[in-house]
Structure 1
């Protein structure tokens, strides 16, 4: 079996003990092609981000860099600009040949909440080596907003792979010809390119920019916060905006994207040479995202954009990222948006689920 493991295979890994947790895993953690990971009961405030490194454990590195620890049992605030390491409830005992990759969940990325997974002996963020047996940790750094978190909250997710599943450009072109993956022409080069939509929407609105001084966001509160308290509108009349260094933006792709049921995708960074900005690439795209039969009919990708050293002019239609498509080992029993309460099926320009969208 080669490819990204579907939901039914994840249940098999849980039954076999390859994925375990304390307390036990909940079945609603299982998504079509990934597993949600849960925060544990303590957060360690550390001086700097780190990787464990070969032959070292995360616990050893925490002892080196810990400043203080925060009990999350009754809820606690993670402060903007600080770095925390939080043991997760899940534990892996992967069989040889099975690798895993983690990523922030969509809502996490839209809050500019940098969340990465680290492991014992790890030399990369979010990449879990084949045969890994050990605990999982989340490194969490709130960049735009301070957040209130509790044990069991799900900021990141993990996907499991057997063998090589990534489609090359020829395979991706053939898939697009048989089942269109984007509206309009497909830009295919080491993945499927997508561009930014900066043509004026309602009242010239093309996006949102995070305000620099705001209150705390309780991650359990859905549809609770007025967007105007945390975001300012970004408007354009000429199809361009100027990105300010250090600012965080929510924009949207020009193309509507489709992930067919037998495939999954991951957002990857575009070449740095195209400009002084980065698309945060917060998430996985599950099978069925934007798929018409799963209620999608094409869904545009929300872009989490941060400008770097110099102000940068971003123009309508500029390519800013790419989707890397992978084969599923089998079709998931449930698709994204099809009876599993998916938050972003059929989306356009949209903030995270915590906000009341402006009308």
Structure 2
């Protein structure tokens, strides 16, 4: 008997994710509400405790729970709210677990608002040897490793910081297929730089600030409070009159791509981690681009990619138009029953330079 979920190659759309939940391949401590299901991914919820650990780790041949005793310092109850402090590492069991069919693997990533807060979040599985990667047929619990880098945060059970995307088979487009897709329905406005994905560059010719830099000493952020915090208390504006900025080592920046990005409804994309060859800065914390992002059919008409940038060992001069990242596109199994954008009231459709939804605009 054929199975449309495991037999068709591609990223699973929202309706297939709902079917996996119905089958019990995705299970949870509490019922999974429909709003957790995105066009090509599932939001994951924090459980009720956090474990402060002295170091990040991968479990290897053990379960996460078995290795936790080697690294745990203390346990924190999240009911009623708890502070995760800047510079610390925490492990939180998630409400969701998996019993995947043999032909389905998965990849996880931080949600957009998580990345824009410099809230480093990765998924860990039992016997996992990589962060954010789930082997075909995995059965077991899911854990989130959380490390606030710029701001201490207040969290509660049920908060959604990361998301998971499921796929059957090899769905990624090679460069030839990506060029053909761009020729049929342009993926960026203007020339497409295609080399192991779709390259995009930084825009440092904006009216007003070209970016924001996180302030080093701020109050904490309650992640349930949206549109609440004044920008100036947490961020410094970055300005330039010559199309160049100097990135400071250890600093975290929010910048924006020069290109307006399009993701057709029958494709999904992921921002691949980009490391400069000299190793001086890193772009990418939250990497999923859902079907319909920036697409006219979904009310986008081109949306800029927001860039989360951290500089490393030495100051680095970033120039307007410099290539800083690439998008990898994948085929969907089928068009999702809802697209990113108007269908979901998405926060970042049609965006330009934009901070996370926790900050007040205007």
* DSSP-derived class of the 2:55 partner: coil
1:83 aligned partner:
89
Separation of aligned partners in 1, 2:57 and 2:115: 20
1:356 offset after TM fit, Å?
Answer: 1.1
Whether the 8 Å contact between 1:200 and 1:237 is mirrored in structure 2 is no
Please state if 1:32 is matched with 2:39: yes
Aligned partners of 1:113 and 1:143 also within 8 Å: yes
Aligned equivalents of 1:310, 1:61: Cα separation in 2: 35
Q: Deviations over 1:9-46 (max 9, x none)?
A: 00110111000100121111000000000000000000
- Which of 346, 349, 352 aligns to 1:348? It is 352
Q: How many Å separate the matches in 1 of 2:27 and 2:317?
A: 47
Q: Give 1:272 shift.
A: 2.9
Whether 1:8 aligns to 2:15 is: yes
- C-alpha distance in structure 2 between counterparts of 1:226 and 1:351, whole Å: 11
> TM-score normalized by structure 2?
0.97
1:312 aligns with 2:324: no
In structure 2, the partner of 1:230 is 234
In structure 1, what is the equivalent of residue 186 of structure 2? 180
2:109 is matched with: 103
User: C-alpha distance in 2, partners of 1:281/1:225?
Assistant: 22
Partner in structure 1 of residue 163 of structure 2: 157
Contact 2:279–2:312 (CA under 8 A) maintained in structure 1: no
Question: How big is the alpha-carbon RMSD for the aligned residues of Structure 1 and Structure 2?
Answer: 0.8
Which residue of the other structure, out of 115, 119, 128, is the alignment partner of 1:122? 128
Task: Give the 5 Å matches for 1:294-309.
Answer: 294-309=298-313
C-alpha deviations, 1:171-197, integer Å up to 9, x for none? 000000110000111000000000000
Q: How far did 1:274 drift?
A: 5.5
Stretches of structure 1 lacking an aligned partner (at least 5 in a row)? none
The number of equivalent residue pairs is: 355
For the residues of structure 1 that align with 2:37 and 2:275, how far apart are their CA atoms?
33
Q: Contact between 1:22 and 1:89, CA under 8 Å: does it hold in 2? A: yes
5 Å-filtered alignment, 1:221-260, equals 221-260=225-264
Secondary structure of 2:160's match?
Answer: coil
Q: CA deviation at 1:280?
A: 2.2
The answer on whether the counterparts of 1:270 and 1:320 sit within 8 Å (CA) in structure 2 is yes
* SS state at 1:8 partner: helix
Shift of 1:338: 2.6
1:166 aligns with 2:172: yes
Which position in structure 1 is the counterpart of 2:214? 210
Report deviation, 1:216. Answer: 0.5
Q: 2:25 aligns with which of 18, 41, 44?
A: 18
Residue 342 of structure 1: CA displacement?
Answer: 0.5
Does residue 153 of structure 2 align to residue 147 of structure 1? yes
TM-score normalized with structure 1 length: 0.98
Unaligned runs of 5+ in 2: 1-7
Q: 2:3 maps to which residue?
A: none
